[in-house]
């Protein structure tokens, strides 16, 4: 029996909140339209900047949720994909003369290659050993980047002066927060929609969930474990690398700091608070953590401590994250 049979709509309904792809897509895009109008109302450039970061992080966390939450693969190299996408897009723009949009699209191809490179040795391992290997890759990359000055990676200082986004002949600088708000919202929404509504609701998504929940049974019904786990790495890496490309052209600078401990912990907090494998939990986690982190800036050194307390309380009181609240409500008569 080859791969997996035709997807069962009842199985899809059990994985996602909602019964119809069309209806859920309409609700999703209605929310996006509301956020687009909110951008026009917001008058503070700094608030728009926070939302731009939220939209970029949504791509990263949705991609991580795909491989960790839905496929059940303990991959901790997610920011590695983001970094390669950011550096790759920046270098193509600076040295190869690619337009920013073409560079961002090319970042997807770079992410796919890196996804395969990390996936091949990872798929020889199981469980926590995958986590240890991928986290080791994450830890090894910063010194490699610092030594990459000879090939144009900028070393400790990173890459500066990354070309601005060019839309219809107009350059969009990082100062133009409103345009960037709409661009990042559209690109972020498109990536999130493709992940949750196309990839995860199709044959691939069903295979991921089957491997996560009943690995032996999934193989018994014909799910090619190696193939779908490789696809999980590649798809997750592609979208995350695109997010890295968007980030690079928005900030116009990329440094090894994006692999720092704070960024990694923030990503973990987003997933823990939102809830893995339960849409829209991870996305809600991004909004709460990024906005909450900015609100806690005044606490300086205590900020991360407070976030840690929030995570502990959430794990104890809501082991399934915020998404667990929706599940409880749906079960009530």
Condensed to tens digits (0 to 9), the pLDDT of residues 154-210 reads 888 889 889 988 887 788 888 899 999 999 999 999 999 999 999 999 899 999 999
pLDDT of residue 14: 40
Torsion of CA 86, 88, 89, 95, to 10 degrees: 130
Cα dihedral sign, 16-21-24-29: positive
Whole-angstrom Cα distance, residue 64 to residue 61?
5
Whole-angstrom Cα distance, residue 210 to residue 231?
14
pLDDT of residue 50: 95
Find out whether 79 and 270 touch, Cβ atoms under 8 Å.
Answer: no
Least confident segment among 84-98, 115-129, 259-273: 259-273
Rg from Cα positions in the chain: 20
pLDDT of residue 18: 43
Least confident segment among 6-10, 83-87, 228-232, 291-295: 6-10
Residue 11 has pLDDT above 80, yes or no: no
Please state, for a pLDDT cut of 90, what percent of the chain lies above it: 54
pLDDT of residue 93: 94
Q: Which has more pLDDT, 30 or 9?
A: 30
Could you tell me the residue ranges of all domains in the chain? 9-259, 261-333
Residue 23 has pLDDT above 50, yes or no: yes
Mean pLDDT of 282-289: 93
Whole-angstrom Cα distance, residue 254 to residue 244?
9
Whole-angstrom Cα distance, residue 248 to residue 35?
23
Residue 74 has pLDDT above 70, yes or no: yes
Per DSSP, the three-state class of 1 is coil
Could you give the count of Cα atoms lying within 13 Å of 153 in the half-sphere of its Cβ?
21
253-254 vs 170-172, strand pairing mode: unpaired
β-strand partners of 172: 165
Residue carrying the six token digits 């809830």: 275
Residue 78 has pLDDT above 50, yes or no: yes
Please state, for a pLDDT cut of 70, what percent of the chain lies above it: 92
Mean pLDDT of 207-226: 87
For residue range 228-245, list pLDDT tens digits in order. Answer: 999 999 999 999 999 999
Cα dihedral sign, 36-37-43-47: negative
pLDDT of residue 214: 85
Per DSSP, the three-state class of 127 is coil
For residue range 31-69, list pLDDT tens digits in order. Answer: 999 999 999 998 889 999 999 999 999 999 999 999 999
**Model-level pTM?**
0.90
pLDDT class of 328 with cuts at 50, 70, 90: low
Residue 8 has pLDDT above 60, yes or no: no
pLDDT class of 19 with cuts at 50, 70, 90: low
Per DSSP, the three-state class of 309 is helix
Q: Which has more pLDDT, 318 or 123?
A: 123
Whole-angstrom Cα distance, residue 128 to residue 133?
9
Phi, psi of 69 (to 5 degrees): -80, -40
pLDDT of residue 332: 46
Whole-angstrom Cα distance, residue 269 to residue 314?
10
pLDDT of residue 327: 62
Torsion of CA 83, 85, 91, 93, to 10 degrees: -140
Residue 318 has pLDDT above 90, yes or no: no
* Mean of the per-residue pLDDT values of the chain: 86
For residue range 113-161, list pLDDT tens digits in order. Answer: 999 999 999 999 988 899 999 999 999 998 888 887 777 788 888 898 8
pLDDT of residue 311: 78
């Amino acid at each position: 029996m080859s791969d997996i049979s035709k997807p069962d709509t009842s199985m899809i309904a059990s994985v996602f909140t909602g019964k119809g792809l069309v209806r859920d897509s309409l609700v999703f895009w209605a929310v996006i339209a509301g956020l687009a109008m909110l951008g026009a109302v917001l008058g503070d450039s700094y608030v728009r900047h926070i939302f731009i970061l939220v939209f970029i992080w949504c791509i990263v966390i949705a991609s991580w949720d795909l491989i960790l939450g839905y496929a059940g693969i303990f991959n901790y190299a997610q920011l590695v994909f983001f970094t390669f996408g950011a550096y790759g897009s920046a270098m193509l723009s600076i040295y190869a003369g690619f337009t920013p949009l073409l560079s961002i699209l090319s970042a997807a191809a770079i992410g796919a290659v890196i996804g395969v490179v990390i996936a091949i040795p990872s798929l020889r391992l199981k469980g926590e050993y995958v986590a240890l290997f991928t986290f080791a890759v994450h830890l090894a990359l910063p010194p490699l980047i610092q030594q990459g000055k000879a090939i144009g990676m900028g070393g400790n200082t990173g890459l500066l002066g990354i070309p601005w986004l060019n839309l219809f002949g107009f350059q969009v600088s990082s100062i133009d927060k409103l345009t960037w708000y709409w661009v990042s919202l559209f690109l972020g929404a498109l990536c999130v929609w493709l992940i949750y509504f196309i990839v995860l609701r199709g044959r691939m998504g069903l295979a991921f969930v089957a491997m996560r929940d009943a690995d032996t049974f999934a193989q018994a019904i014909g799910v090619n474990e190696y193939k779908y786990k490789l696809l999980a790495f590649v798809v997750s890496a592609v979208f995350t690398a695109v997010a890295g490309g968007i980030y690079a052209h928005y900030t116009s600078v990329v440094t090894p700091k994006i692999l720092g401990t704070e960024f990694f912990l923030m990503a973990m907090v987003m997933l823990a608070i939102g809830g893995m494998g339960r849409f829209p939990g991870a996305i809600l986690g991004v909004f709460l953590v990024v906005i909450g982190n900015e609100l806690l800036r005044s606490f300086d050194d205590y900020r991360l401590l407070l976030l840690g307390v929030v995570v502990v309380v959430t794990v104890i009181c809501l082991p399934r994250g915020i998404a667990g609240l929706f599940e409880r409500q749906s079960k009530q008569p």
